[in-house]
């Protein structure tokens, strides 16, 4: 028998075969981790190993199996070296003894993984965004919490599955995390019916603000509104000031905004808490100038009275301004929406104290509710920046589905600085043109501050061309054969640059594939998740759910209440202004 045959029989006989396998596993891992040299061509996709190393969850199957096998391979090599160093080849003989050692090492590898590495590898508040094939297994990709604070964008045509593939799986995963979530539901009550049960199953609160749902919670921002809060409410109702309009339009817009703020401050002086709310501002404007004059008489605020008296010097202009203000506040003519703003049940501080899911309904079928959703959403954004200690409290993640329907003027500034408050924003949109409601520099600010950008089928062709340029060029082999009569054929091989993906191939991506851009890796393609098909999420959808309500009484629209004839002033209180009107219909209840 030759020396080669003896070595072959020794290796395959079982005595040192597992050790050889361990060495081969470590070599394969080392080769896979080694970065390949760059070739010509600026475009290439990220490798599977790089993707898994950045976004894989090593505490979940199958990466947990890979981690255990790596530990086992390392132990095999280490123990095999020790046995060989002590007893030479004799230490690697004895099939029964070696089998016992191999089994014990495998158990030790499992124990080391679970006791030492599992807690370090397990992370909370990760965001699932797709799957890839790695060594024959499907591996789910998770964006770490620190990267979620740098925001996410999902873009694709309507009906491609942005909600079921990227919103629902993320919300279901956050139910097991230590965070609060604010989700915008444009298909209410689909979001509540689908994911609220997963949060309730974990013993966490689910708050629903949907004026058309019986479990809607009351929200009233006016009674305790600061000047900054009033500014946010004003911008929600009127939008940002158009400095490029003609001077006359700017003048009347400023006057109407001023009247709105004064009316809000006037309603804030009401003593009856049932009358101090935004729907009462609408009721006050609806009653006209006489009722407003009576309310100013009883407000006991000299500065506010002076402001109103200056406006009342031109009663016709005030009447015209009230007409414009009524158009802006028309949503409160709906009794359901007025009831949703009638009671201060919602304490926004709960988002920072305990994990909570806040669902804000903004159904596209009812444009009136969009303004109410914008007011609540901007109140949450302001509350985030008002936190005295931003390092304490829970992180908050926003899921803004079709957020362009809500005009949020401060969104670019919020995205710029939200990271310092441990807040992440996930925006869902159909086309890049939907951002044109913002100025050019604001669009650039929104785009540059999104760490993960995911594009689905059906993006507009102009944006697909831009994405194709971002992907870069790749080399393709060009083989040409020239033939001539009476001469041998000549073959010429050259390499030409071509787009890694053409605009057409990006626009026509398969329905279950998404193109991902991150700040740390080259672009890559992933298989989409499906909340109704992926087993990990399917089992946690549409579970029994109940909305949290601190007050069980049903909401009702606030009613306009008149004052008694003698007015609200106490005998000892100073009085400023003319004698109170004798008609009860001319005054508002305080």
Residue 19 pLDDT > 70: no
Joined together, the tokens standing for residue 90 give 């004799």
- CA 589 – CA 140 distance, rounded (Å): 59
Closest CA to 79 of 105, 108, 110: 105
pLDDT of residue 24: 66
Give the containing element (helix H, strand E) for 123: none
> Range with the lowest mean pLDDT among 13-27, 177-191, 382-396, 542-556?
13-27
Tokens 């605020």 found at = 301
pLDDT of residue 242: 78
What's the pLDDT tens digit per position in 266-292? 999 988 888 899 999 999 999 988 888
pLDDT of residue 475: 84
| Farthest-apart Cα atoms in the chain, separation | 124
Which DSSP letter does residue 524 get? E
**Higher pLDDT among residues 346 and 403, named by residue:** 346
Helix %, strand %, coil % for the chain, to 5?
A: 50, 15, 35
What's the pLDDT tens digit per position in 37-79? 444 557 889 999 999 999 999 999 999 999 998 899 888 888 8
Which band of pLDDT confidence, cut at 50, 70 and 90, is reported for residue 432?
confident
- CA 347 – CA 307 distance, rounded (Å): 32
Which band of pLDDT confidence, cut at 50, 70 and 90, is reported for residue 32?
low
CATH code at 144-212+355-458+509-538: 3.40.50.300
Residue 585 pLDDT > 50: no
Which class for 271: exposed (0-12), middle (13-18), buried (19 or more C-beta within 10 A)?
exposed
What's the pLDDT tens digit per position in 525-560? 999 999 999 999 999 999 999 999 999 899 999 887
What's the full length of the chain, in residues? 590
Residue 30 pLDDT > 90: no
Whether 266 contacts 285, CB under 8 Å: no
What's the pLDDT tens digit per position in 196-254? 999 999 999 999 999 999 999 999 999 889 888 898 899 888 887 877 788 888 889 99
In sequence order, what are the residues at sequence separation of 6 or more whose Cβ sits closer than 8 angstroms to the Cβ of residue 428? 154, 155, 162, 163, 166, 167, 399, 400, 401, 402, 403
Which class for 431: exposed (0-12), middle (13-18), buried (19 or more C-beta within 10 A)?
middle
Residue 573 pLDDT > 50: no
What's the pLDDT tens digit per position in 436-462? 888 888 888 888 899 999 999 999 999
Name residue 425's beta-bridge partners. Answer: 398
Residue 510 pLDDT > 90: yes
Tokens 């591996």 found at = 139
Q: Quick one: three-class SS letters along 164-197?
A: HHHHHHHHHHHCCCCCEEEEEECCCCHHHHHHHH
CATH 3.40.50.300 residue spans of the chain: 144-212+355-458+509-538
- CA 409 – CA 19 distance, rounded (Å): 64
C-alpha distances in angstroms, 543 versus 199, 526, 537? 9, 28, 11
Average pLDDT along the chain:
85
Q: How far apart are the first and last CA of the chain?
A: 108
418-421-423-427 Cα dihedral, nearest 10 degrees: -10
Q: What interhelical angle do 17-33 and 63-87 show, nearest 10?
A: 130
pLDDT of residue 271: 83
Residue 572 pLDDT > 60: no
**Higher pLDDT among residues 6 and 81, named by residue:** 81
What's the pLDDT tens digit per position in 354-411? 999 999 998 877 888 888 999 999 999 989 988 766 677 899 999 999 888 787 888 8
């Amino acid at each position: 028998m030759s020396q080669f045959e003896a070595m072959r029989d020794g290796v395959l006989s079982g005595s040192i075969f597992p050790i050889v396998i361990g060495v081969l596993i470590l070599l394969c891992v080392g080769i896979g981790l080694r970065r390949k040299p760059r070739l010509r061509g600026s475009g290439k996709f990220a490798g599977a190993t790089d993707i898994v190393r950045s976004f894989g969850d090593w505490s979940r199957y199958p990466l947990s199996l890979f981690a255990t096998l790596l530990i086992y391979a390392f132990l095999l090599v280490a123990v095999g070296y020790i046995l060989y160093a002590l007893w030479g080849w004799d230490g690697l003989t004895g099939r029964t003894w070696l089998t016992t050692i191999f089994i014990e090492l495998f158990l030790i590898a499992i124990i080391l993984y679970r006791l030492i590495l599992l807690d370090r590898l397990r992370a909370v508040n990760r965001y699932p965004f797709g799957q890839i094939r790695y060594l024959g297994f499907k591996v789910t990709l998770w964006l770490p919490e620190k990267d979620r604070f740098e925001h996410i964008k999902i873009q694709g045509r309507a009906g491609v599955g942005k909600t079921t593939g990227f919103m629902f799986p993320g919300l279901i995963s956050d139910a097991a995390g230590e965070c609060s979530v604010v989700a915008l539901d444009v298909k209410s009550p689909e979001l509540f019916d689908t994911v609220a049960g997963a949060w309730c199953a974990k013993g966490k609160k689910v708050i629903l603000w949907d004026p058309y749902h019986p479990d809607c919670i009351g929200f009233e921002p006016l009674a305790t509104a600061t000047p900054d809060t009033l500014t946010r409410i004003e911008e929600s109702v009127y939008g940002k000031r158009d400095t490029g309009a003609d001077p006359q339009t700017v003048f009347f817009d400023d006057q109407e905004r001023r009247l709105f703020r004064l009316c809000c401050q006037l309603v804030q002086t009401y003593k009856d808490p049932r009358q101090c709310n935004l729907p009462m501002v609408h009721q006050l404007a609806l009653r006209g100038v006489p009722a407003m004059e009576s309310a100013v008489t009883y407000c006991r605020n000299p500065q506010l009275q002076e402001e109103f008296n200056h406006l009342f010097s031109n009663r016709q202009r005030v009447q015209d301004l009230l007409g414009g203000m009524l158009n802006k506040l028309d949503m409160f003519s709906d009794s359901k929406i007025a009831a949703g703003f009638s009671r201060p049940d919602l304490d926004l501080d709960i988002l920072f104290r305990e994990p909570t899911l806040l669902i804000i309904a903004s159904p596209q079928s009812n444009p009136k509710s969009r303004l109410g959703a914008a007011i609540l959403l901007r109140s949450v954004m302001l509350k985030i920046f008002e936190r005295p200690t931003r390092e304490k409290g829970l992180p908050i993640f926003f899921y803004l589905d079709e957020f362009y329907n809500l005009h949020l003027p401060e969104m670019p500034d919020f995205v710029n600085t939200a990271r310092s408050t441990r807040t992440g924003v996930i925006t869902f949109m159909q086309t890049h043109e939907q951002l044109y409601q913002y100025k050019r520099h604001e669009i650039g600010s929104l785009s540059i501050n999104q760490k993960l950008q995911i594009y689905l089928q059906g993006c507009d062709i102009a944006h697909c061309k831009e994405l194709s340029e971002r992907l870069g060029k790749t080399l393709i082999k060009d083989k040409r054969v020239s033939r001539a009569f009476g001469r041998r054929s000549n073959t010429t091989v050259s390499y030409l640059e071509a787009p890694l993906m053409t605009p057409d191939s990006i626009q026509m991506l398969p329905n279950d594939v998404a193109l991902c851009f991150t700040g740390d890796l080259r672009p890559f393609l992933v298989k989409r998740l499906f909340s109704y098909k992926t087993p990990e999420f399917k089992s946690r959808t549409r579970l029994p759910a109940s909305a949290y309500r601190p007050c069980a009484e049903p909401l009702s629209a606030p009613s306009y209440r008149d004052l008694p004839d003698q007015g609200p002033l106490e005998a000892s209180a100073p009085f400023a202004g003319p004698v109170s009107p004798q008609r009860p219909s001319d005054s508002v209840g305080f």
